Each structure stands twice: as structure tokens, then as C-alpha cells.
A and B are shown apart, each in its own frame.
Chain A
Amino acid sequence: MERAGKASVTHRLYGLLEQIAPPLVSVVIALAISSLIIWVVGYDPVRAFSALFDGAFGGPRQIGETMLRSTPLIFTGLAVAYGFRAGLFNIGAEGQLFMGGLVAAWLGVALAGLPTMVIVPIILVAGAAAGMAWAFIPALLKARVGAHEVITTMMFTFIARYIVSWLVTGPLKAPGQIPQTVQLPAESMLPKFTDILPELGTGRAHLGFVVGIALAVVVWWVLKHTTLGYEARAVGFNPWASETGGISVSLTTVKSLCLSGALAATAGVTEVIGLHGRLFDQFSAGFGFTGIAVALLARNNPLAVIMTAMLFGALSAGSGTMQLQADVPSKVVFIIQGLVVFLVAAQQLAVWLLRPFKARGGVENA
């Protein structure tokens, strides 16, 4: 009656492999297809990729650049992943990110004069709270009237972007031609690694990266070891069984989407107080959307998000060197990114499409 019993260790190892293999294969295939494209359009793929690698990991400065570019993606990746685990598609991480950036730019000036050790934590918390608040209304709409979060969080992204656009061209505009807020004072900024240890030579990389890794561990722990995460996963898998088990589905939905919003907003905060030192229209290169790809590739595993965010960060950091040294347009990186996303999505789509058949087999053998 039972399947052959397996020792639980091999069982887990196998499970791990089963999890890691498909995204890894996607990445490898994406690289292979990209090489082919690079070769077909007349460049040398070996040179292109070694230049890309060089640009991403060739030295401390390059590594720093990779860390810098991964930082916002860790947060947005975590945000989307947490949402997915609770059965929610937070497509509006970008909007929450904007609200986080806005609050950071405002508080960074408003709190000027206080020591960094005080300001930065306050900004981080307040920025996260802003993202939470921004996700709260879509969450409430979902919980109360069932409005789909894909629509509502997207709408709220537009609203957030227009608010920021308006503020940086009007009320919060710094003197001068450019629509941007004033430069934050040094004490409001997240320190760079080199501020602490100049010998590191990691260029623009800042402590936001460490915050990201810490948050990834926290999110992993919350999902695995707290009732909050347990309830989120239960609702994500099966709202009816959750309800029967006394879990409030609507409350869990609200909590989960708000938490996701808080994580996404942190990306905006660290971009403002870690990198730019101010807010402007284009301060996010669509990190909220890339976060979806980061989460999918990581299969919504918070620890894997660190790795996948770094992969995307490395591609972005290395693209300039690739252009310089191998003459390959840096835009080729978008092709690679696109292919990775496409292959991962296609694979998940296949799993999703096959689900009814799997379920059917399961029921028949019940």
C-alpha cells in the first residue's frame, strides 16, 4: 500500500535537488541561448561572458557594484516571494518601493542633525511602514470584497509614481533645473562599506546589502518558525482548510500583503539613503518588477532570493564592462535576463498547467 520507505535524509536531499535543479537549468539554458545570439550577431561569446564576469566579480570594486545592484532586488524579491507564499501576487512592489523612497527622502531631511545610528533605523522602519500602508488598501479590498490584488496593487503603483513625480517637480523640488529633492545630509545616509573600512575598496556598495541578507534570513525564519508564517503558507496552499483550522483567511491576507509591502518599500529606502541621497522620478530601474523574476527564479524561497538577486545584480553590474571590453551592447544583458525570466516562467507555467493532471492522479489513488 505504501511507497517504498525512504530514509528522511535522502528524502530531503532529493527534495532540495528537485528544488534547485530546474532554476539552475533555466539559467544555463538562458546563457547558452544568449551565447548563440551573441555569436550569430557577430561577437565572440567567450569574450563577452568573460568580460561580463570580470565586470561583476573581477575585483573588489566590481564585487561592490554587484552587491549594490543586488540590494534593491533582494528586498523586492523577498516582497514578491512572501506574497506568493501566502497565495498573493504582489505585482505592485514598485509602488510600495516608491512610497518607501518618498518617506526616506522626507525623513532624511526632517531628522537631519540626529546621529546616523538614530536616523537610519527610524527611516528604515518608517519607510517600511509606508510600504505597509500603501499595500493595506489593496489588501483590505481583497479581504473585504475580493478585488484582485494584481489589479489593485498595479493601480496603486501608478498612483505612487505620479505622487512622487508631482512632489519632485513641485512641493519637494530642490532649487535648480532638475526635478529632484535636496541632497540628504551625510548623517542621514546608510554608510558605505568603505566608510567603515576604506581598504575594502568596494566602491558604492552600502550596508543596505547586509540589511537585505539579514531580512532574507528573518523572512525565512518567519515563514518556517512562526505562526504568522505558518498561517500565511496555509492560506496560500488551501484557504478552505485554513478556515476550517480556525485561521482567518482575510486577516492573513491583509497581514501578508502588508508585510510584502513593507519589504518592497525597504528597497526604495535603501536606494535613497544608501545610493542616491535624494529622490527623483527615475530612482528605481523597475526593481519592483524585476523582483517578480527574482522571486520566481528563487521559487519563493527567501534564502534563494539572495542568490537570484545577486545573479541579476551581477548581470547588471557586468554589462558595462561587456560593452567596453567585448564591444557587445550592454542591452544584450536584457536578453539574458529576459531569457532567464522566460524560461523560469515557462517552467512554472508548465508545472501550473500540469497541476490538474497531477491532482487528478492523486485523487484517483486516494
Chain B
Amino acid sequence: MDAALLEVREVTKRFPGVLANDKVSMSLESGEIVALLGENGAGKSTLMNVVYGLLSPDGGELYYEGHPVKVRSPRHAIDLGIGMVHQHFMLVEPLTVTENIVLGNEPTKIAGVIDFSTARKAVAEISKRYGLAVDPDAVIRDLSVGMQQRVEILKALYRGAKILILDEPTAVLTPQEVRELFKVVRSLVDEGLAVVFITHKLEEVMAVADRVVVMRDGRVVGEARPSETDMAGLARMMVGRDVVFRVEKKPSVRGETILEVDGLEVLDERRLEAVRGMSFDVCAGEVVALAGVSGNGQTELVEALTGLRRPAAGSVRLSGKDITHASARQSIEAGVSHVPEDRHRRGMVLEFDLAENMILGDHRLEPFSRHGVMKPTEIARVTEERVAAYDVRTPSIRVLGGALSGGNQQKLVLARELGRDPKLLIAAQPTRGLDVGAIEFVHQQILAERDSGKGVLLVSLELEEVQGLADRILVVYEGRIVKEFAAGEASDEDLGLYMTGGGGDKFAESTEVSVKGLGT
């Protein structure tokens, strides 16, 4: 029997207070894609950082091509043929693609002068061989995230990687880029490489993996072939209990109109028109989803509705009251709650503890303060209550917001925004970066809000989320609403078509291309 390309045996890694890897074993063969699946904090990155020589294990062994090895450093890993692309790229932004790829391994002419023509040729060659088209002379900082990732992959290939580890590679990509990446990964294994694909997304496992290793709480809890299992089975392994994907949804009971947006126009930072005349409304007891590809005016729309950006034209009314030019504070006080798309930047203050974060936006109001003096006991009491009600897992409410995991941070934001009992909830990409357990929770909360007679405006890039939660779907494209669907009326393909500018007659020409591009 042939030895595996890489074998991890009983690797243990401890951090202060955390057993990140507990006797983890797995193996990897040439020509296969192994997905490493697990919730955030399960220990996936830690394990692969051990393999890549970034962390030294507290116990266990690594076998490479049948021989025991101690990977001392990433440099050593690279020499062995192990490459890794981290979630955060390690590229030199002002340099070109070629320069970045050969950095540290430059072909030289006499006297150490870098031989750029040879370098370019070598880069062009591997980029062609693996079907990773990229302009070798482009400067990194001008490239999209997807392209930068491609450069990272090329860098590993250029150094002769036989194993490529990708740590949550899709987290930063658009759906189109994800599909592209899957093709690339497939072509790599066709060329004989082995790929470890770290993810917490089940669909990705089903779409790309040959084999999946599931981790939970630092241990390997199962292994499977996607063809022999289903998402529910994987989810159960990963979370340790049954998970509902499509949250049960009662029929919507529509009440009076809560939000009325009329002819709204909003400019972006560059003073270009990002929202070009949107009109729609949201009623009590319904979830209206704004579906669209990122960058089609959603961010600016949400900022305008929440008082963070002044609209250039049009009007916004909340329960009949004009809030077009309301400040963020007035908007909150009028009854608009906002779950921002960027948790760390807008959603919370990472340096504040949970109690301080819980009152952000309500800190001037009773019961949290009176005449400008805060009431610590009340603040603590309400925080404890909400932390319990929204299942924010934390040792204490005095822990800093930045110390929570992403899912718990989002629960904290939800607890705050829903806890103040708003009329309207505006949730922008509320499940971005969360794992299935947390997604399920967030979805349940959003629907509960709807069922209690609130209006919900959901902005999402995830078709599944839109389809699962919405009572009405508005498709946005280039700052306009191009189509409205009732729940269940549109297929993913229909939505995709309109989201990319197809669908209407005047788009007839681009339609074909888009349909092809979207083929799943």
C-alpha cells in the first residue's frame, strides 16, 4: 500500500485556556480535494498552520510521503512542497504580479540581478498550465480580491507546491469568483496536486470536495464523501445537533405600511450616483429582501435610510413621518434598527465590553441614563437579560466585544437592535461570515421580528437567504430596482439573471452571457 502524501497523526496544539487541536489525525492523497469543515473556532486554521510550519505542535507527528518530518517554518514547508494561502493575503501591494510571485525565489542573472524576462516567462507558463489567467504586469493593489487570491495560488505553484492549503478562500469572494475558484481548484488536482480546502460552508463542500473531514471543538468528529452524505448529515456532524436550513416560515400577515421610499437618489463617496431613484415600501409583518450583487447601491441605500448619508433627492417616510433628512440618532429614535453589514466597523466597538456595546445608540435614554448620568445597574441588568435571551456565549458581560467569536458578536448586535423594540429592522448581510448554527439563529430572529408585526428590510448577497426569508424580493442592479418578485415566484436563476443586468428587453444582448456565466 502506498503511503499518503501527507499524514497528520494525533496532532495536539494548546493555546492559553484553549485546546485548539486535540489528537487530530487526517491524511491527504495526491489528486484529491479534501475539505476541512468546521464552525469558527473548531481548530481548522490551527491544524493547517501546524502543517505549514507556522505553529509548532505540542504533540503528534507529521508524515510527508511516508517519512516523518518536523516542519520548522513556512520556508521549510515550501521546500517540502506545501503551500498555503491565508485568509489575509501576504502580497506586496505596490509590486507587480510577477514580482510578487517570484519574490524570495527570484531567477537571477549574473551578479544577482533579477532576470525579469525569465521570471515573466515562468509565471506565464504556470498561469497557462493551470488555467489561472492573470496579467503578469498588473500592480497588486489594482487587482480585485479574487485576482489577488489567484496570485497567491500562483505564488505557491511557482515554488513547486504539491499540496495547496486554502484557508477559507471563499470568504472574500463574490459568487462568480467562487465558481471560478472551484474550477481552478479542480484543474489543480487534475494536474496531480492535493488541495486542502478550509471552509465552514456546506454548499462549498458539496460542490468541490472529494472527501470531507469535519472538525468540532478541536477534534475530528467525522469523515465522509460528499456523494455519500448530504448537507443535513454534514451539518449535524459539524454543529453536533440537527440544524434547520430553511427556517419554518408562517404566512405573512401584512399590516400597515411602515417604510415608504420614494424616488430616492443617493451619491457615494466619489459623488457618483449609487442609488438612482428607488421607490418601494415595507409593511408591518413582512420581510422585504433586497437582492443584488455587491456594489449596486445597497450600502448607500442602507446608509441613507439610517441617517448615515444624506440623500440627494427623493423622500423616506417611517409610519407616515418624514425621515428623509433625519440624523442617525433621530432615525434610531424614530424606530429604525440597523444591523450593519460591517460588524467590526459599524456594528460594535470592539474595545467596549458587552454592556457598553449593548447600549450603543440607546445610551442617552432611560433606563440606561438620566440627565446624562449612566445607570450601571440597569445597564448590567438589561445586558444580562439580553445576553441570555439571544444566547450570546460569553464568560461575563465585562468581556470586550472584540473577544467574542463572529457569531456571538452578531447575536450581540441583534440583541441590541431588536431589544429596543423598533418599528423597522434594516439588516444588511446579517449572516456574513457566520457558521450554520449562528445563521439559523439569526434567521429565526428575523422571522420572529416579522411575526411580531415589525417591518424587515433584508439586504443580502446570498440567494438562499433571500429565498428563505423574503415575502417580497426586490432585485437591485446599478442603483435601481429592476424587478420585484413575490416569495417563491422566482428561481435562483431568475434572480441571478436580473441581478446581473439581464432579464428585461433592453438587456437582451447581455442576457445570454449572464445566463452562461451563472450556470451552476
Chain B residues near A3 (CB, 8 Å)? 17-18, 395, 403
Once the chains bind, are A227 and B369 in contact (CB under 8 Å)? Answer: yes
Bound Cα distance A253, B352 (Å): 19
Which parts of B395-415 form the interface with A (CB within 8 Å)?
395-396, 398-399, 402-403, 405-406, 409
* Selected A-B contacts with CB under 8 Å, 13 pairs: A1-B41, A4-B17, A227-B372, A230-B356, A243-B328, A246-B307, A246-B331, A362-B350, A364-B87, A365-B40, A365-B45, A365-B405, A366-B409
Chain A interface main SS type: helix
CA distance A230 to B355 in the complex (A): 12
The 8 A-B residue pairs with the shortest CB-CB distance in the complex, in nearest-first order: A246-B329, A5-B395, A366-B406, A245-B361, A245-B360, A4-B17, A237-B351, A244-B346
Interface positions of B from 343 to 377, Cβ below 8 Å from A? 344-352, 356, 360-361, 363-364, 369, 372-374, 376
Encoded as 1 (CB less than 8 Å from any A CB) or 0, chain B from 77 to 100 comes to 000000000111000000000000
Q: Which of A3, A8, A228 has the most CB of B within 10 A?
A: A3
Asked whether B453 is an interface residue with its Cβ less than 8 Å from the other chain, the reply is: no
A238 at the interface (CB under 8 A from B): yes
B174 within 8 A of A: no
- For residue A39, CB closer than 8 A to chain B, the reply is no
Residue of A nearest to B168 (CB): A364
Residue-wise, chain B 224-251 has the 8 Å CB interface mask toward A (1 for contact) of 0000000000000000000000000000
Bound-state Cα–Cα, A237 to B360, Å: 13
Q: How far apart are the CA atoms of A243 and B349 in the complex, in Å?
A: 11
Cβ contact within 8 Å between A240 and B327: no
Find out whether the CB atom of B349 lies under 8 angstroms from the CB atom of A366. Answer: no
CA distance A295 to B327 in the complex (A): 35
Instruction: Look across to chain A and name the residue whose beta carbon is closest to the beta carbon of B218.
Output: A1
User: In the complex, A12 Cα to B395 Cα: how many Å?
Assistant: 13
A155 touches B (CB below 8 Å): no
Nearest chain B CB to A10's CB is how many angstroms away? 11
**Contact bitstring A246-265, B, C-beta under 8 A = 1, else 0:** 11100000000000000000
Which chain A residues in 86-125 approach chain B with CB under 8 Å? none
Is B50 interfacial (CB-CB < 8 Å)? no
Residues of B within 8 A of A360 (CB): 88
- Name the distance in Å between A337's Cβ and chain B's nearest Cβ: 30
Q: How far is the CB of A269 from chain B (nearest CB, A)?
A: 26
Residues of B within 8 A of A233 (CB): 352
Instruction: Name B46's closest neighbour in chain A (CB-CB).
Output: A365
Is A333 an interface position by the 8 A CB rule? no
Q: Which residues of chain A from 221 to 245 have a CB within 8 Å of any chain B CB?
A: 225-228, 230-231, 233-234, 237-238, 240-245
Residue B306 lies at the interface, judged by CB distance under 8 Å to chain A: yes
Is A199 interfacial (CB 8 A cutoff)?
no
Q: How far is the CA of A225 from the CA of B361 in the complex (A)?
A: 16
CA distance A327 to B345 in the complex (A): 57
